[in-house]
Amino acid sequence: MSQSSALKYLEENHARIQNELIELLRIPSISHDPAHKVDMGKAAHWLANKLRAMGVNNVEILPTAGHSVVYGEWLSGGTSAPTVLIYGHYDVQSPEPLEDWKSQPFEPDIRNNNLYARGSSDMKGQTLAAVNAVEAIIKTEDLPLNIKFLIEGEEEIGSKHLNEFLVAHREKLKCDFSLNADAGGMPDAETPTICYSLRGGASFILNIFGPNQDLHSGEYGGVIQNPIHVLSKLIADLHDKHGHVTLLGFYDKVRKIDAEEHAEMARLPFDETFLLKHSGAPALWGEPEFIPAERIGARPTVEVVMFTAGQPKSAIPAKASARFACRLVPDQDANEIHQQSRASHCEMGARTGWRWSRYYY
Ligand SMILES: [Zn+2]
């Protein structure tokens, strides 16, 4: 059977493929740190060489205003075959805090059948899984597809130059659909997974300004409202007791989940047991009328992901800040959500003096 020949190839080449991954993981391609510029180039070259060695054509390292994109194509599927663009990224986050690592972040270590290194799961592992899957098939079978690879080096810094790159290379990158191996992951080792959509993101920073400067709490405590308290109240009121977001209009454009989609999501293993086990949290939380898979897949959310205010001294701080991160679903618009947030917090703002600034989305 044709399927088994590619799988057999992967089994026979397992040791080599694993060593390749280890080689790539050893390159500290930290995109945000200029000290690793050379490593970024090394990782790009490593991937370009890998693609060439497995028979991918027209492999190029294409410059952007930042880190380069590795491109390659395998168009032997024929002109009538659909073309898939496979996306990956070779950059990683910096590994701090180092004391949380049991092994060195750039010295891959295998423990309990898992490979630990910075970038092993985001996403050098997935990138090479996709690359090697293509290798296995083109070496052993007829692949009824054309493949293009786009592997960028700036995902961890917001894909700053990718839009520009896509526009500039529109013709070269033309495809019928794309596969992003960075998305979703697999729920477990036994469940093959294709993630067909992800929620979008919008982030805002809210600054609450109170007095002009920090004030001694002995002199002013009792007459000046504390920005930390104001912001905490606002954060506490972001959700009602059932976990619904209270921003006015937040759910207006959210699509209803139809019965078929609900049934599909109910088949996913993301149930309470799974989520408790993997999160280590003591209990689940959130909208009770939706199953967990819907709450993490099809419902929009607002989270406060950072809260900065105050110092260890007896003072009422001048300012408190929080970073809000929204997960948005189809038809929601980041600018609209931003406006809704402003409107919802107007009343509180009018009393305290405030600034709500958009950070990025
Ligand atoms: Zn990633």
Q: How confident is the model at residue 23 (pLDDT cuts 50, 70, 90)?
A: very high
The answer to whether the beta carbons of residues 133 and 22 sit under 8 Å apart is no
| Model pTM score | 0.72
* Cβ atoms < 10 Å from Cβ of 249: 13
Q: Say if residue 351's pLDDT is above 70.
A: no
The 8-class DSSP code of residue 157 comes to G
Measured CA to CA, the distance from residue 118 to residue 45 in angstroms comes to 19
The Å distance, Cα 357 to ligand 1 centre, comes to 27
What torsion, rounded to 10 degrees, do the Cα atoms 334, 339, 344, 347 define? 150
Instruction: Tell me which residues have their CB within 5 A of the ion that is ligand 1.
Output: 122-123, 182
Evaluate if residue 269 carries a pLDDT over 90.
no
- What average pLDDT does range 316-337 have in this prediction? 91
Q: Report the separation in Å between the CA atom of 22 and the middle of ligand 1, taken as the mean of its atom positions.
A: 17
The amino acid that residue 260 corresponds to is: E
By the 10 Å C-beta count (0-12 exposed, 13-18 middle, 19+ buried), 104 is classed as: middle
State the distance from the centre of ligand 1 to the C-alpha of 127, rounded, in angstroms: 10
Q: Ligand 1: distance of its center to the CA of 158 in Å? A: 10
Q: pLDDT tens, 163-213?
A: 999 999 999 999 999 999 887 677 778 888 888 888 988 888 888 888 889
Residue 293 above 70 pLDDT?
yes
Q: Tell me how many degrees the CA angle 17-18-19 measures, rounded to the nearest 5.
A: 90
Find the Cα–Cα–Cα–Cα dihedral 12, 13, 14, 16, rounded to 10°. Answer: 150
What number is the average pLDDT over the span 244-264? 94
Higher pLDDT, 272 or 360: 272
Cα dist from 83 to 69, 77, 80, 173, 177, whole Å:
19, 8, 9, 10, 7
Taking the CB of residue 155, how many other CB atoms lie within 10 A of it?
22
